[in-house]
Amino acid sequence: MKQHLLRFAFIVLVCLLSLCVQTSFGCILSGSKANFYSQSGAQLLQDSRIIVSGKVSDARTGEAIVGASVYLENTNTGTSTDGSGNYKLTLKAGSNTLVISYLGYQKQTKAFTSQNDVTLNVQLSSTSVTLTEVGVTGGKQPDANIRDVQSGISSIDIKTIKTTPAFMGEADVVKSIKLLPGVSSVGEAATGFNVRGGSTDQNLVLLDDAPIFNSSHLFGFFSVFNPDAVESVTLYRGSVPAQFGGRISSVLDVKQREGDRQDYIVTGGVGLVSGRLAVEGPIVREKSSFIVVGRASYSDWLLQKMPDITIRNSSASFYDLSAKVSHTFNGKSKVSLNGYRSYDQFGFSGDTLYNWNTNAATLKYTYLFSDNFWVDVTGVYTDYNFKVNAKEPVTASEYSNGIQLKNIKADFALAGGRHQVNFGASVTAYDLQQGKLEPTTAESEVVPVQLQQEHALESAVYWNNEVKVSSKLSFMYGIRYSLYSTLGAADVYVYEPDSPKKDRTITHTLNYSSGEIIETYHGPEPRLSLNYTINDRSAVKLAYNRSRQYLHLISNTTSVSPTDIWKSSNRYIKPLIGDQLSLGYFRNFAQNTIEASVEGYYKQLENILDYKNGANLYLNSTLEADLLSGKGRAYGVEASINKVSGRLTGWANYTYARTEVSIKGPTPEETINQGNYYPASYDKPHTLNIVSSYKLKVRMTLSANFTYSTGRPITAPVAHYVIDDYVVPDFGERNQYRIPDYHRLDLSLSILANKAKQKRWEGTWNLSVYNVYGRNNPYSVFFKQVYGSPPRAYQLAVVGAAIPSISYDFKFR
């Protein structure tokens, strides 16, 4: 069986590769045609012109469709709709046929004859046969890969996420993100993801504008985004527009969908681990809607059935719930309110219970001053808490830490002519709970500890302009200015100036009253993107970004642990500053059905943190004394090829990425590896991802994923020695060894149960096998001595076998 699957996967891979080769030949042949088109384009200019404009909206919800493509049939003349669904095109007077399309919607063709300007509003209806539309929306227009000024941006369609083979059948946003070029993670059950050599805390993860501080369910096996609630997922890793800030590596922008404004619809799914249910419908038909989406695991119930008592005493459960209401007032303004909660509980053998939860809310008001000038005013609240409950009678206690955020912002957008201007301002208040330990029973011998809270205020203004200078050249330039202050009430230790910071070198303590400014950091963050379109099929894109990050996740493990604390920049911890320069070459083949690109980047990081030898990160009131800061550099090349349509779709990408850190302090104690550059703990030089999906029949799609990456670095003991009868491991230099490489093949088969168009029930079966050839990918490596044998390295694999699963999704209207 295993052999058959392997053989099949091999065939899929070979097909994908041979297809790529074939089509690129096809393109070389058709390349000569390009000249012909551009010449006839020049002739067109002499004819009389009309302006065609209008709005593209969803036929069902009436909601504007952003990024829909509108183009003249059989030509390359076209545009895409702006942030409010509007488009404008200049065409030759006379007969024209426009094709309006958007992924997941039925394509519409509008023919008209006119000598004057025309307004043409188009309503698209969504396609019900979802599985046939598997595709990567790397660009929303067919040639967006070439035309878009920004580089290093990937969007994944939620339908792609749902058909990608998933662990335990749980379609997962973050797992899919990890298959994009330039994205990696340190292992199976690792929290978060690493983008272009950045640590996991350098990604701004937004769920409807609300920052999410822990995107993991069950220690990273799943992510907190319910696929049924998600509308779109966009990852910015290269050009980051100036409206985003606060993290230096990337922005993952997850938008949740709004409820249907016409009909009541129930969607849901049953998998091995969790069940999902979504209910949506109009409140006032055409004007307002609601959607409530929930997901809950029943893994606890399964654990109870296990033969092993330790497992039976374990608990692992999670749920997430989101609800959204939106209302449109007379086409001029719109308000939406979104609430979100995710909750996790994990305990091993009953004595220690880990628990984390996120509560978030977003209130957004959009007002259109005119068709091409509008504003979004958004209020955001996020509250993240982490808790550990110890149940042993003597140590019964609760440990907690967390972060709360309140944000208000106004974002203006002005689209007109060749410019698209975005500007706005944002203010965010943070409260960071650094750690608290309390006994929970009278018999408990735990001594209570409470570290003081941190408070901070981050403000930013930005201005971003996207200009199309000519058909060949477009720019996006912008600037963000951020200002960050840590505020009292707080006691701040002052250390002896010329010696390493330690609790014993504290000279005195400064007391700040509530709201008093302790330290302020500020600075400009310029952003620049440039697109030089060589011809309709190829473009060169250049991008430069500077970002400042004021929050730091202090962590020394790969999974969620009590030592992971969100910490504010303060008197001692300076903000991270990242500068990234990237250059890419983009080339489309076969009528834009194959998109290829090669992007290189170089990043410089200032004030990157690592820990001292022997650091204690748990409930440490002088944490700054155990941290060191230095500089980092990250560089890499990403090569990617996407096939966006046809029976076989998918992508393949290879990333070479390095991240190195150098920490050189005034004393040996404050220096790591003699100040030389060493690999960061998430440095993974080689990554290869192949994601493919093949439509076997109209209602049957087979998908295969393959992923390979270099093992992450670890610090290993190179020797041992004896001091006072203790056998002491002698650890070598930091991060000089690596755990074995990671690779995995997944397969899945999606079967759409029925097709008839007007049926009220739609069902989809998804069968998948994760880790098909049962690779024991190491999750962590540890060192120990078993009595009677020499000490050695051991690896822990979390998923050491092929995991088959089955799930069923349904939609009822």
Partner 1 sequence: MRRGYTTIIVCMLALVVNSCIDPLELEIDDRTWKLVVDGMITNEPGPYTVRLSRSKRYSSYTDSWNAVETGARVIVSDDKGNEETLTETKPGTYLTSVAGIQGQIGNTYSLSIRTKDGKQYTSSPETLLPVPEMDDLYFEVRPVQVLNESDVERTEYVVDVFVDIQDPAEARNYYLWQWQSTFRVSTQPWDYSEKVGNVRVPMPKDCCEICWVTNTTNTVNIQDDRLLNGANIKRHLVTSIPVTAQHFGTKYYLEVKQFSLSEAGYDFWRILKSQIENGGSIQDTPPATIIGNITNLNNPDERALGFFGASAVSKSAIFIRREELGVRIAEYVFPDDCRVLSKSTTEVPAFW
Chain residues 311-350 in contact with partner 1, contact rule CB under 8 A: 311, 313-314, 350
Binders of partner 1 among residues 391 to 420 (CB under 8 A) are 392-394
- Does 796 engage in binding with partner 1 (CB under 8 A)? yes
Structure tokens at 131: 């599985």
Separation of alpha carbons 593 and 335, rounded Å: 38
Cis status of the peptide bond prior to 489, with omega within 30 of 0: yes
Give whichever of 459 and 795 is closer to partner 1, judged by the CB atom.
Answer: 795
- Does 797 engage in binding with partner 1 (CB under 8 A)? yes
Q: Name the segment binding partner 1 (CB under 8 A); options: 198-206, 339-347, 357-365, 797-805.
A: 797-805
Q: Tell me how far, at minimum, the Cβ of 399 lies from partner 1, in Å.
A: 9
Give whichever of 648 and 793 is closer to partner 1, judged by the CB atom.
Answer: 793
Q: In this chain, which of 614, 757, 758, 760 binds partner 1, going by CB under 8 A?
A: 614
Concatenate the DSSP letters of all residues of 156-204 into one string.
EEHHHHHHS--GGG---HHHHHTTSTTEE-SSTT-SS-EETT--GGGEE
Q: In this chain, which of 53, 150, 563, 764 binds partner 1, going by CB under 8 A?
A: 563
Give whichever of 440 and 593 is closer to partner 1, judged by the CB atom.
Answer: 440
Residue 462 is inside which H or E element, if any?
A: strand 454-468
Binders of partner 1 among residues 735 to 764 (CB under 8 A) are 737, 739-740
Give whichever of 108 and 709 is closer to partner 1, judged by the CB atom.
Answer: 709
Q: In this chain, which of 24, 128, 234, 776 binds partner 1, going by CB under 8 A?
A: 776
Spatial neighbors of 234 by CB under 8 A, at least 6 apart, are 153, 154, 155, 251, 252, 253, 255
Give whichever of 63 and 670 is closer to partner 1, judged by the CB atom.
Answer: 670
Concatenate the DSSP letters of all residues of 569-601 into one string.
--SSSPPEEEEEEEEEEEEEETTTTEEEEEEEE
Q: Tell me how far, at minimum, the Cβ of 445 lies from partner 1, in Å.
A: 9
Structure tokens at 458: 């981050």
Q: Tell me how far, at minimum, the Cβ of 648 lies from partner 1, in Å.
A: 30
Q: Tell me how far, at minimum, the Cβ of 213 lies from partner 1, in Å.
A: 18
Q: Tell me how far, at minimum, the Cβ of 781 lies from partner 1, in Å.
A: 6
Q: Tell me how far, at minimum, the Cβ of 607 lies from partner 1, in Å.
A: 20
Give whichever of 14 and 394 is closer to partner 1, judged by the CB atom.
Answer: 394
Give whichever of 491 and 516 is closer to partner 1, judged by the CB atom.
Answer: 491
Q: Tell me how far, at minimum, the Cβ of 613 lies from partner 1, in Å.
A: 4
Q: Tell me how far, at minimum, the Cβ of 129 lies from partner 1, in Å.
A: 30
The total of other beta-carbon atoms located within 10 Å of residue 782's CB is 9
Binders of partner 1 among residues 266 to 295 (CB under 8 A) are 272
3-class SS letters over 396-420: CEEEEEEEEEEEEEEEEEEEECCEE
The total of other beta-carbon atoms located within 10 Å of residue 433's CB is 20
Pairing between β-strand 122-124 and β-strand 49-58 as defined by DSSP bridges: parallel
Binders of partner 1 among residues 693 to 732 (CB under 8 A) are 715-732
**Cα four-point dihedral sign 106, 234, 582, 465:** positive
Structure tokens at 89: 């095109």
- Does 305 engage in binding with partner 1 (CB under 8 A)? yes
Q: Output phi, psi for 761, to 5 deg.
A: -115, 130
Q: Tell me how far, at minimum, the Cβ of 400 lies from partner 1, in Å.
A: 15
- Does 627 engage in binding with partner 1 (CB under 8 A)? no
Binders of partner 1 among residues 155 to 214 (CB under 8 A) are 168
Q: Tell me how far, at minimum, the Cβ of 131 lies from partner 1, in Å.
A: 25
Q: Name the segment binding partner 1 (CB under 8 A); options: 369-377, 458-466, 554-562, 759-767.
A: 554-562
Q: Measured in whole angstroms, how far is the alpha carbon of residue 633 from the centre of its chain?
A: 22
Q: Measured in whole angstroms, how far is the alpha carbon of residue 795 from the centre of its chain?
A: 29
Separation of alpha carbons 519 and 484, rounded Å: 8
Structure tokens at 692: 């493919």
If we measure between CA atoms, which residue out of 26, 110, 85, 10 comes closest to residue 646?
A: 26
Residues near partner 1 (CB under 8 A), total: 84
Separation of alpha carbons 329 and 24, rounded Å: 50
Q: Name the segment binding partner 1 (CB under 8 A); options: 156-164, 389-397, 694-702, 757-765.
A: 389-397
Q: Tell me how far, at minimum, the Cβ of 774 lies from partner 1, in Å.
A: 9
Binders of partner 1 among residues 464 to 523 (CB under 8 A) are 503-504
Structure tokens at 247: 């993290």
- Does 666 engage in binding with partner 1 (CB under 8 A)? no
